[in-house]
Structure 1
Amino acid sequence: MAAAGPERHNLASLDPQQLANAKRNIEADIQRYAESMNFFIKSANIYNAANTAIKNLGESKEGQPLLLPLTQSLYVSGSLASVDEVLVDVGTGYYVEMTTGDAQDYCGRKVQKLQDTINDLNEVMKTKQAQLMQVSRVLDDKVALLQEQQAAAGRPPVPGP
């Protein structure tokens, strides 16, 4: 199977420019994974908050007045129609009516799936960070060697990465 990226090559055989490019690519990958992880963490927190709200709904009574959030800063007053059924946003503008138990199960499954994805991303990030350290170490060694060679030849040193 052909090598897929710099982590599969013998790093010592790459020149400093190739190592610097590999380092930038790995850093960009780590940044993308971190952004994805933050998105998944926020999503899991939203489902956890929804699950808590559903649990608290069981303590309420039908007809009880409430403030319904339309946005984060806009609420309208209303009254609770049912404590046994809720509308669940299942994505892309679709809502499904579920019992509170089913809605709690749904939110719990979503949180678990997101947590599994977060854990997987965390493992990938650890691997990428190890690759970054390895590439950085080899790059630093190559730059130091070039600087030594140029100093011995009487030329000005090469700037670092």
Structure 2
Amino acid sequence: MTSKEPQTVDLKTVEPQQLMGLRDQLEGEMQNLSASATALQSAAGQFGSSGRAIERLAHQESGQPMLMPLTSSLYVPATLDSASNVLIDIGASYYVERSPADGTDYCKRKVNMLKDQLDQIGQVMREKQRIMQQVTAVLQQKLAAQQRAQQS
């Protein structure tokens, strides 16, 4: 019968080559987690920026001139028709029309969700870092012992 619970292994019984492989694997996992955290931070920043833009837009009056972004560096002159509704990209090229208050709330909820995910990734990274330190310490002990044995 197999168990899905993690197995505990005494690192002192593991060969140095296996410890090196484990250390390399942990380093790779840490790099992947770090990249994921960076992407989540970027997304949280974008949702935060969108929420603030919706709040500013809600206070604008109809007929007011504005610059409409077509890309991150290309804007065209436009006139605000109405600030009573905004279109929100909910993913996979789907958009929903909401009031500015609902749009701001949506962005805040997304930011909070992403921050929760970042916290979870941070916990996993701290645990992996702790394990990697243990693996590195045992590996250094084993390599030092091998070196002493060869010199004797």
The interval holding the TM-score normalised by the smaller chain is over 0.9
* Identity between Structure 1 and Structure 2 (%): 36
Q: Give secondary structure in 2 for the equivalent of 1:125.
A: helix
* AA matched with 2:123: E
Cα deviation, 1:89-143, whole Å, max 9, x if unaligned, reads 1111111110001101111110110010000000000000000000000000000
Does the alignment pair 1:32 with 2:32?
yes
Distance 2:86 2:119 in 1: 30
Distance 2:149 2:40 in 1: 49
Unaligned 5+ runs, structure 2: none
Distance 1:75 1:86 in 2: 19
Does the alignment pair 1:108 with 2:139?
no
Distance 1:68 1:114 in 2: 28
The residue that corresponds to 1:57 in the other structure is 57
Aligned pair count reads 150
Does the alignment pair 1:89 with 2:89?
yes
Contact 1:3–1:9 (8 Å) recurs in 2: no
1:58 deviates by 2.2
The residue that corresponds to 1:123 in the other structure is 123
1:70 deviates by 1.3
Q: Give secondary structure in 2 for the equivalent of 1:120.
A: helix
Runs of 4+ in structure 1 deviating by more than 2 angstroms, as ranges, are 1-5
Q: Residues 122 and 9 of structure 1: is their aligned pair in 2 closer, same or farther, counting only changes over 3 Å?
A: same
1:59 deviates by 2.3
How does the TM-score come out when normalised to structure 1?
0.89
1:3 deviates by 7.2
Q: Give secondary structure in 1 for the equivalent of 2:34.
A: helix
CA-atom RMSD in angstroms: 1.3
Distance 1:104 1:24 in 2: 43
Cα deviation, 1:64-94, whole Å, max 9, x if unaligned, reads 1111111111112211111121011111111
Contact 1:87–1:95 (8 Å) recurs in 2: yes
How does the TM-score come out when normalised to structure 2?
0.94
Distance 2:140 2:11 in 1: 12
* AA matched with 2:53: A
Distance 2:141 2:21 in 1: 16
More displaced stretch, 64-73 vs 121-130: 64-73
Distance 2:131 2:82 in 1: 54
The residue that corresponds to 1:147 in the other structure is 147
